[in-house]
Copies of this chain bind each other. A is one copy, B any other.
Amino acid sequence: MKKSPTPPFITVVIERMTPLLDGGRYPVKRRVGEDLVVEADVFKDGHDVLSVVLQWRREGSKTWAETPMRPLDNDRWTGVCSLYENAVYEYTVQAWGDTFRSWQAEYVKKFDAGLQDLLSEILEGCALVEAAAARARSTPDAVQLFDIAEKIRKGAPAEVRKIACWSELEALMAAWPDRSLATRHEPFGRVRTDRERAACASWYEFFPRSAGGEGDRGSTFRQCLPRVDDAKAMGFDVIYFPPIHPIGISKRKGANNSVTCEPGEPGVPYAIGNRHQGCPNGGGHKDVAPELGTIGDFEWLVAEIHKRGMEVALDFALNCSPDHPFVHDHPEWFYKRPDGTIKYAENPPKKYEDIYPLNFSNPDWRRLWDAMTDIILFWCACGVRIFRVDNPHTKPVAFWEDLIGKVQAQYPDAVFLSEAFTRPKMMRVLAKAGFTQSYTYFTWRNSKHELTEYFTELTRTEMREYFRANLWPNTPDILPTFLQHGGRPAFLIRAMLAATLSPLWGIYSGFELCENDAMPGREEYWQSEKYQFKARDWNAPGNIKEFITRLNTARRDNRALHEYANLNFQHAESDHVLCYSRSTPARDNLLFAVVNLDPFHTHTAHVHVPLEEFGLGGEDTYQVHDLISDERFLWQGRRNYVELDPHSCPAHLFRIRRWVGREQDLDAFQ
């Protein structure tokens, strides 16, 4: 008989492998070192015992690592692997009918049923062990397997029953399985493992020209360190700069977004120019505004920030002012009118004459796309690894997939934050296509119902696999109504929520000063520093820097706040009080947050502590340690009372400490 070939058909049905994003089209996201739990439906015809393994490898590698999977209920199997490199991996499930374990099960059944003539069965077992020995070739295992085969051949039925179930034989047979009829799930799953700060960070955004806080002139890169040090003191670890590039001259806008610009007005950093002002690098996106300094100055600032254990995030805003070098060098990259002139941006009837939008589908699109990638690579070479992308939803999703893929192939530690405030499905697909983190609707979710519903969607649906919410209570473009009217308590509430509902949050500077002057009837800042110099006292009375510092300290010290999908809403007997818990899988870090969502009034509530999640018995006494006020209370059982005055402090962030000492030693809470 000819040697059995691997049959080109699927011998084992492997279905519903999870996670699997759009059939493997997009990778799911994990942090380096984080577990990846994979499940699948696995079954086959007949009564064979199945062997099922989870396999994974770095994309591009030919060798699979593997670990056994175990059966759950109803033909569902589960396995887990840990991924330690900042890379893209692929994973799959492989399964086969295990001839040895099938033989073992059948032999035991027959022997135990008292069947006498087992000679044929014994010879079958012997042949299976010999075949494994042959696969083991010249290893020591082969010798041992041949030995055992011989014992089976000569053994009495009762002795063979013992040998068949000998754990050492089981291990040897598992080490040299016959996979000639194995099936592997396709498509493979993909997972991108990002570094820690891609998943857990506190961002502080400021305009370099505003660092000095003077109303009549801007500061430079070299003057930014006090602001950086202040942010560091508040516990932030990412410093995010709006665009630092030369600002367009043509059609430059004035204060409060005026279409006319007075002499000396600094312009909007989002209108990127200009090739005329003697910019050291010729202007455009690979240059810095001369009023901020030189690229050398910027690199110095980056290095200083790195010295402090922090990182820099740059804004990537694909806006070209009419004097951007692309307009001169690549007019074919823009939209044109019938008369051959380049179109400015419009949202009829509004005109944005200071901006020329790029046409990402123009016939020369490939060169345009590559030029965009080159911009990011340029700043990576300057030491930047984090990019906040402005309005990605107005460019093709395929473009971002291309750009982020190419950048991360060279810089796997590059992080991209999607600033897409648009329709939900577009926000999601940008995250699937490569964005590491995303802005969210959090900025406008204030009520208990809104917050619960939205964060349930973020952390309980498939979104948890690929969409990392970076929560911002404000941005230079958005001063929400809640902050405009709620006063200082509103800022405390929103800081608490942003800092504890996700491992990623950020504020736009001025938030810590409770700045809330708005354009009338708009959710925009009055006298926004986007358009002008801004005078500020960075330590103005009434600031909430101390509160923010405590939040960031709690975030740093509590691993439960470093995870994303561990958010569990808990019952509070008041519509104004939001309650949620976060725990580590090992239950060694347990947090319980209580927030009064009403910035105007004190509210009281009985809140329900999730005793099961915290590993507490129904009558246990435990300590709740407020990481904001540093107060400690003894609570007992599920239902406990809170009272929160928004004018002093609208939130508790309790660390739960279970009692571990003797009764007379009340401090013995871990």
Contact = CB atoms under 8 A, between A and B. Distances in A.
A645 B2 CA distance: 68
A307 interface: no
Interface of A: 1-5, 7, 9-11, 13, 15, 22-23, 41, 43-47, 74-75, 106, 109-110, 113-115, 120, 123-124, 126-127, 181, 187, 332, 337-339, 346-349, 360-361, 363, 365, 393-399, 402, 423-426, 429
Nearest to A126: B338
A3 B50 CA distance: 58
A393 B44 CA distance: 8
Contacts of A109: 348-349
A2 B363 contact: yes
B402 A9 contact: yes
A339 to B, nearest CB: 7
14 contacts: A5-B363, A11-B396, A11-B398, A13-B397, A15-B429, A23-B23, A74-B423, A74-B425, A106-B348, A110-B348, A113-B348, A123-B337, A123-B339, A181-B361
A271 to B, nearest CB: 19
A75 B395 CA distance: 17
Nearest to A97: B361
Contact of A45 (B44, B115, B181, B393): B393
Contacts of A74: 423-425
Contact of A398 (B10, B41, B43): B10
Contact of A43 (B44, B399, B423): B423
A337 B121 CA distance: 8
B397 A10 contact: yes
A363 B423 CA distance: 56
Task: Quickly give the copy total for this chain.
Answer: 2
B120 A45 contact: no
Output the residue of A43, A339, A423 with the most chain B CB within 10 A: A43
A346 B117 CA distance: 14
Nearest to A114: B349
Contact of A7 (B2, B11, B365): B365
Contacts of A187: 23
A120 B361 contact: no
A426 B43 contact: yes
B423 A123 contact: no
Given A10-B397, A41-B425, A120-B338, 19 more contacts: A3-B363, A10-B396, A13-B425, A13-B429, A15-B22, A15-B425, A43-B425, A43-B426, A45-B360, A45-B395, A45-B426, A74-B423, A74-B425, A75-B425, A75-B426, A110-B348, A113-B348, A120-B339, A126-B338
A17 to B, nearest CB: 11
A365 B10 CA distance: 13
A396 B45 contact: yes
Contact of A110 (B2, B11, B349, B402): B349
A6 to B, nearest CB: 10
Contacts of A10: 396-398
Contacts of A347: 47
Contacts of A22: 15
Contacts of A394: 45-46
A106 B425 CA distance: 24
Given A123-B338, A337-B120, A363-B4, A13 B426 contact: yes
Contacts of A123: 337-339
Pairs A-B, 3 closest by C-beta atoms = A113-B349, A123-B338, A9-B398
A336 to B, nearest CB: 10
Given A395-B45, A397-B13, A425-B15, A7 B361 contact: yes
A115 B349 contact: yes
Contacts of A7: 361, 365
Nearest to A400: B45
Contacts of A339: 120, 123
A124 B343 CA distance: 12
